[in-house]
Chains A and B, each alone.
Chain A
Amino acid sequence: MAHDSLYAAPPSGADTEREAGRLAGLRTAVGSWDAAIVAALVVAVLLASLLVQNFASGRNVQFLLLDLVPLALPALPMTLIVITGEIDLSVASMVGLCSTLMGQMWLSTGLSLELICVLVVVIGAALGAVNGVFITGFGLPSLAVTIGTLALYRGLSFVVLGDQAVADFPASWTAAAVQNLPGTSIPAAVVPVLLLALVFGVVLHATPAGRALYAMGNNDEAATFAGVSVARTKFWLFVVSGAVCGLVGIFWTLRYASARGDNATGLELTVVTAVLLGGVSIFGGRGGLLGVVAGVLLLGVLRNALQLADVDANALTIVTGTLLIASVVLPNAVADVRARLHRRRQRAHATAA
């Protein structure tokens, strides 16, 4: 009952044989999802380079990657959280609150910016810990809790700065946020993102902790029997999510040289879209970091290319929504077709024999 079907339409036609076939098919389908999404990314990049003017240029790569940093960072912990069968919808609001707190501290405390940055990450972790306490301590559904903190943190970020903005950050810092690696057109901000992606990837795929996350997503109770403290692990995941959002808050504030209450509004939807597009199952227990990184890049490339091709912003809204739906409907449809083919083959086999 753990990773249960909350918000799932219960599968119809519950004959067990079919279910088994579906599961087997699903596993193969998901195994190839990583490959499929990487292939889609390559195709998208090639098509965009060929068809869209100005796409394949150093400056555009810089713009594209800079836009992706605040999307890629929260997607990393989100991947782990969704794999355990939970969700964190409050990420964008945590980014916003961290940003305004950074602005307020800079404006009124006289602390050094270095200290403020460290404090902001700590505050982010604390915000995540609040989520964690409600979810693992009180045993409440993460969806409801993080919808609540989505509103709460966004509201607080407006309380902190009202409709004012803090913008007088030192030019050397704001310039550093968008600076390229020497001699390239790759923003330096990409380096910490890659490092963190590596760390999250290693934790998820090469440690017992990572395997435990999958176990939790598949079945909380089984994970508990296997000696994994489900509550404690999930709690720390939400804390990490908050801390990463603190980092994003710093980056966002410096990149746009502006701390405002509405910073990063709506980012959570894009992050969830990217994670699901990357092949992580919303039910938990399935997915990988490679797919998510490819999903983030695919989303970024599509948006950038469509923008360069002068596609209407409204069409972009539709594209995002459709991508999200397609990324969850397609794997199921593929699994369905495979299961059906499999059964037909079996039947054919049976008649032959």
Chain B
Amino acid sequence: MSLTDTGASERVADHPPPGPGRQRRGLTERLLAVRELSLLIALGALILVTTVRNDRFLSAQSIKDLLLGCAILVILAVGQTLVIVTRNVDLSVGSILGLVAFAAGELFLAAPGTPWPVALLLGVALGALCGAVNGGLIAVAKVPALVITLGTLYAFRGVDYYWAAGRQINAADMPRAFLRLGNQTVLGVPVLFLVALFVVAAVGFYLRSYRSGRELYAIGSEPAAARLSGIPVGRRVFAVFVANGALAGLAGVLYAARFGTLDAAAGSGLELQVVAAAVVGGVAIFGGSGSAYGAALGAVLLTTIGSSLAVLRIDPFWQQAVVGALILAAIGLDRLLALRMAARLRGRSAHGA
């Protein structure tokens, strides 16, 4: 919502539209690199502390489980990054995931012979359709994404509930090949994690190296300026929601493959973790900055915290409180860094002049 007094001018300084100001962009990127590095350090420290207490935490199997556990959250966090960078947010991802996961199960029930790649494609398409509903409503009604996606959070979940009508889809209803996808490993690395890695790399590369990717940052930094400089803001924002929906759809199909047991509540409340992962990963909630790599690291960190709390025999009830405290710490830290960066930029331009 609103930013206090000085926020606006800083944001312009921090994240200028692409083109001029190459030097500043270098700075911004260094800032992001610092963020990612500090995340890695936090992750390393966490793993170290946990391993000292219980050396099983670093066994091959435990690492495999960790990678498997974070894959779905990583995909969702990367999708959310696309949205948040444009100064929007999508709270309906948990509901989209649930709907697509159930749809995938229903597909195998209705047509048992369906090869899994077809299910995957259909799932992604259904997710993209949900994303298009979000994007379309936002574009047509010109209302904040927060409100629209809060509404579709209810609506998509309601459709899911209505469709499922209290039924459950089980492992036995789905083809073996599909379920194997959920637990198979290649050279000890779960396939799910490889898929997540691919998504991170693709989105990361797109955001960094494509003109339209850079434009997303410009939109998030200063929508009015972005529009004036000829960026098709409406179309980009719509596309971002479709892409995020498609990724949530992908995550939904993978969820079905991994868990094998599906009811209509799959993915309830996931949106909070997804936003938390992105924010902890350095994606600024007011748009214009952040990277897919950071968001992915944020997701890995959150998952690791979950399992190490269990290994350290800390009351699992602390987990949600820790997530909340992390969000606050992360946005507070961002603010601090942004202020210092702004001060440095001011200093530099004063010298230059």
**A272-319: which have CB < 8 Å to B?**
272-273, 276, 282-284, 312-319
Q: CB distance A152 to B1 under 8 Å?
A: no
Min CB–CB distance B15 → chain A (angstroms): 14
Nearest opposing residue in chain B for A221, CB measure: B5
Q: CB distance B320 to A151 under 8 Å?
A: yes
Chain A residues with CB under 8 A of B328: 134, 145, 148-149, 152
Chain B residues with CB under 8 A of A283: 144
- Docked complex Cα distance between A273 and B275 (Å): 21
Q: CB distance A10 to B223 under 8 Å?
A: yes
Binds B, one of A111-119, A195-203, A246-254, A320-328: A320-328
A99 on the B face (CB < 8 A): no
Q: CB distance B161 to A147 under 8 Å?
A: no
A53 on the B face (CB < 8 A): no
Contacts known (A269-B154, A318-B158); A6 close to B147, Cβ less than 8 A: no
A155 on the B face (CB < 8 A): yes
**A130-178: which have CB < 8 Å to B?**
134, 136, 138-145, 147-156, 158-159, 162-163
Contact with A along B149-164 (1 / 0, CB 8 A): 0111111111101100
Nearest opposing residue in chain B for A87, CB measure: B1
Q: CB distance A7 to B154 under 8 Å?
A: no
Q: CB distance B144 to A220 under 8 Å?
A: no
**B1-33: which have CB < 8 Å to A?**
1-8
A105 on the B face (CB < 8 A): no
From A134, A142, A269, A314, contact of B162 by CB (8 A): A314
A5 on the B face (CB < 8 A): yes
From B144, B154, B319, B320, contact of A317 by CB (8 A): B154
Min CB–CB distance A250 → chain B (angstroms): 22
Main secondary structure, interface of B, reads helix
B118 on the A face (CB < 8 A): no
Min CB–CB distance A295 → chain B (angstroms): 14
Chain B residues with CB under 8 A of A228: none
From A84, A148, A321, contact of B151 by CB (8 A): A321
Q: CB distance B142 to A8 under 8 Å?
A: yes
B272 on the A face (CB < 8 A): yes
B111 on the A face (CB < 8 A): no
A226 on the B face (CB < 8 A): no
Chain A residues with CB under 8 A of B322: 155
B327 on the A face (CB < 8 A): yes
From A2, A138, A147, contact of B275 by CB (8 A): A147
Binds A, one of B35-43, B133-141, B290-298: B133-141
Q: CB distance A220 to B4 under 8 Å?
A: yes
B56 on the A face (CB < 8 A): no
Q: CB distance B145 to A7 under 8 Å?
A: yes
Chain A residues with CB under 8 A of B142: 8-9, 11-12, 332
B34 on the A face (CB < 8 A): no
Q: CB distance A230 to B4 under 8 Å?
A: yes
Chain B residues with CB under 8 A of A11: 142
Q: CB distance B87 to A155 under 8 Å?
A: no
Nearest opposing residue in chain B for A142, CB measure: B1
B58 on the A face (CB < 8 A): no
Q: CB distance A321 to B1 under 8 Å?
A: no
B324 on the A face (CB < 8 A): yes
Q: CB distance A141 to B234 under 8 Å?
A: no
Contact with B along A1-31 (1 / 0, CB 8 A): 1111111111110100000000000000000
A124 on the B face (CB < 8 A): no
A231 on the B face (CB < 8 A): yes
Contact with A along B305-324 (1 / 0, CB 8 A): 00000000001011111111
Min CB–CB distance B97 → chain A (angstroms): 16
Contacts known (A154-B324, A318-B162); A139 close to B317, Cβ less than 8 A: no
Nearest opposing residue in chain A for B334, CB measure: A140
Q: CB distance A139 to B327 under 8 Å?
A: no
Contacts known (A2-B3, A140-B335, A321-B154); A7 close to B87, Cβ less than 8 A: yes
**A42-76: which have CB < 8 Å to B?**
none
B89 on the A face (CB < 8 A): yes
Max chain A CB contacts within 10 Å: which of B6, B137, B155? B155
From B137, B154, B323, B335, contact of A139 by CB (8 A): B335
Contacts known (A143-B1, A152-B328); A8 close to B144, Cβ less than 8 A: yes
Chain A residues with CB under 8 A of B318: 155, 159
Q: CB distance B315 to A162 under 8 Å?
A: yes
Chain B residues with CB under 8 A of A320: 154, 158
Q: CB distance A150 to B272 under 8 Å?
A: yes
Chain A residues with CB under 8 A of B153: 269, 321
Min CB–CB distance A300 → chain B (angstroms): 17
B169 on the A face (CB < 8 A): no
Min CB–CB distance A259 → chain B (angstroms): 15
B78 on the A face (CB < 8 A): no
Chain A residues with CB under 8 A of B317: 155, 158-159, 162-163, 261
Q: CB distance A328 to B7 under 8 Å?
A: no
Q: CB distance B2 to A284 under 8 Å?
A: yes
Chain B residues with CB under 8 A of A163: 317
Min CB–CB distance A89 → chain B (angstroms): 9
A191 on the B face (CB < 8 A): no
B88 on the A face (CB < 8 A): yes
Q: CB distance B227 to A220 under 8 Å?
A: no
Q: CB distance A152 to B324 under 8 Å?
A: yes
Max chain B CB contacts within 10 Å: which of A6, A9, A138, A313? A9
B146 on the A face (CB < 8 A): yes
- Docked complex Cα distance between A4 and B9 (Å): 13
Min CB–CB distance B225 → chain A (angstroms): 11
7 examples of A-B residue contacts, CB within 8 angstroms: A7-B1, A139-B5, A272-B147, A282-B143, A317-B154, A328-B147, A328-B151
Known: A148-B327, A317-B161. 17 other contacts (CB 8 A): A1-B7, A5-B144, A6-B87, A9-B88, A9-B138, A87-B146, A134-B332, A141-B331, A143-B89, A147-B272, A148-B325, A151-B276, A158-B321, A269-B153, A317-B157, A321-B156, A328-B148
